[in-house]
């Protein structure tokens, strides 16, 4: 079975490769700003579903498409990727010392079959000084990430606590994904065992 990852995210690719899954990358060319929903959970599900639909329409109908979308939410406000360093600084300052939510929506589509779900995690930032925010901005890491931080990189130094799936914060809730893939005949634990034996 051909598996297609409808994402250009290097983090999502790395997570799937670490599980031994073979796939091709085909990012969805989608205007995400045009999709509006009244809750973060519905928003990430709608965007992931739209990504999956677009890529599936252009691919082999037997291929299994995996699409995902992640947002950071602070006090009910969705924080996307920063437009510039000033926007990143504002986001990091707002997140400092507070708990925020990370939602990831995932859609799996193969032919007429699809499964769509979301996962939610809570992330607590420690209180950051202006100097620390400035130093983190200088790493360049915040610029292509929702909420202006990456928990798998230097951004780990900003996080004091996580409640929920760590990998969800990275952009792909692996436990839920693994269970959902079983419905499409893919057991990642069995695949990992076979890869190890091979």
SS3 content of the chain, % helix, strand, coil (to 5): 45, 25, 30
For residue 165, indicate whether it is catalytic. Answer: no
Question: Helices 188-197 and 174-182, interaxial angle, to 10°?
Answer: 90
List, in order, residues 6 or more apart from 21 with CB less than 8 Å away: 3, 186, 188, 191
Other Cβ atoms less than 10 A from the Cβ of 178: the count is: 17
Options 60, 69, 86, 183, the catalytic residue: 69
| Residue 50 to residues 11, 35, 93, 150, Cα–Cα distance (Å) | 20, 9, 32, 25
* Nearest residue to 30 (alpha-carbon basis) of 13, 47, 5, 9: 47
DSSP one-letter string for 68-80: EEEEEEETTEEE-
Helical residues (DSSP H) of 58-187, grouped into ranges: 85-95, 130-138, 166-170, 174-182
**Residues belonging to the active site:** 69
């Amino acid at each position: 079975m051909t598996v297609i990852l409808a994402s250009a995210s290097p983090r999502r690719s790395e997570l799937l490769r670490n599980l031994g899954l073979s796939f091709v990358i085909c990012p969805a060319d989608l205007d995400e700003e045009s999709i509006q929903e009244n809750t973060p959970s519905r928003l990430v599900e709608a965007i992931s579903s739209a990504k999956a639909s677009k890529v599936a329409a252009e691919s082999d109908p037997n291929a299994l498409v995996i699409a995902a979308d992640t947002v950071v939410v602070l006090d009910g406000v969705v924080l996307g990727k920063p437009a510039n360093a000033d926007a990143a600084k504002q986001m990091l300052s707002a997140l400092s010392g507070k708990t925020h939510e990370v939602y990831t929506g995932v859609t799996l589509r193969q032919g007429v079959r699809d499964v769509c779900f979301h996962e939610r995690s809570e992330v607590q930032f420690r209180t950051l000084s202006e100097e620390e925010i400035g130093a983190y901005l200088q790493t360049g890491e915040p610029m292509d990430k929702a909420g202006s931080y990456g928990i798998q990189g230097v951004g780990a130094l900003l996080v004091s606590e996580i409640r929920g799936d760590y990998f969800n914060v990275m952009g792909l809730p692996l436990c839920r994904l693994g269970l959902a893939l079983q419905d499409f005949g893919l057991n990642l634990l069995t695949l990992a065992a076979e890869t190890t034996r091979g």
